[in-house]
Amino acid sequence: MTSTDERFMSQTDELAGRVALVTGGARGIGRGIALKLAQAGADVVINYRERKDAAQEVVDWIRGMGRQALAVKADVCHEKQVRRMRDEISAQFGKLHIVVNNVGPFMIRPTLKMTTEEWRLMMDGNLTSAFIVARETVELMKRTEMGGSMIFIGSPNAERVGSQSESCAYSIAKTGVVILALTLARDLGGKGIRVNVINPGFIENDSMTPRMREWMPHEVPLGSIGTPANVAEAALFLASDRAQYVTGAVLNVHGGLWI
């Protein structure tokens, strides 16, 4: 996490008056996106499943910017919990303009050695969760006059297998996320809701091993591992009016990985 001065510099009102939901917003890419949207003027709902302290920390940072923020515990794989989260957002804000479907567990396992439970974890955690959140929040998004932006976090794995052959289930799930997003882009365009995908590459996170930090940059034409801030900048663009004619796009934020 950056210093306090860096977090709060360059605040704008680009998203003023808008409410954003970021699933898995307590850490990593989700946290970076949540802070960036808040810096641009949005009020932000931080969804989390287990890390209450981390979620509350992000909420406190956002409130320190003068924005409203709310942490809501919900396992987005379960529709009842997502509906409860939606109702909390409705009660607090009455509207929702931006939804970032960020949750997505990752697993390396030889394909035919995966258990059925591991397979389902990849499918439910990445694809089913995104479907449930989209379905349960869309009516709240339709209430706004500004239109809405739904952003899905995909993966370059949706485009090719490459060296990631042991992440087959994850890749299949993320391919489904892309198809889901493109379908919703067509279905919701007439409702003023834009739907796009960001495919992050190797992004800095607390689960990276020293070995991963050593070899990953050599796979990337730009020669470095990305940061959550890199993904957050793309999310801000897609959430803002600068992308008002952008829907059904798949934006790669991966430094040229696998080209």
Give the active site residues.
170
31-to-26, 116, 169 alpha-carbon distances in Å:
5, 31, 25
Contacts of 222 (CB under 8 A, 6+ apart): 255, 256
d(CA 34, CA 61): 10
Q: Which of 71, 82, 68 is nearest to 19 (CA)?
A: 68
Report the b/e string of 108-136 with b at 16+ CB within 10 A. ebeeeebeeeebebbbbbbbbbbbbbbeb
Distance of CA 112 to the CA centre of its chain: 29
Q: Which two tokens stand for residue 49?
A: 């499943």
- What Rg value do the Cα atoms of the chain yield, rounded? 17
Assign residue 147 a region: left if phi > 0, alpha if psi is -120 to 50, beta otherwise? Answer: left
d(CA 119, CA 116): 5
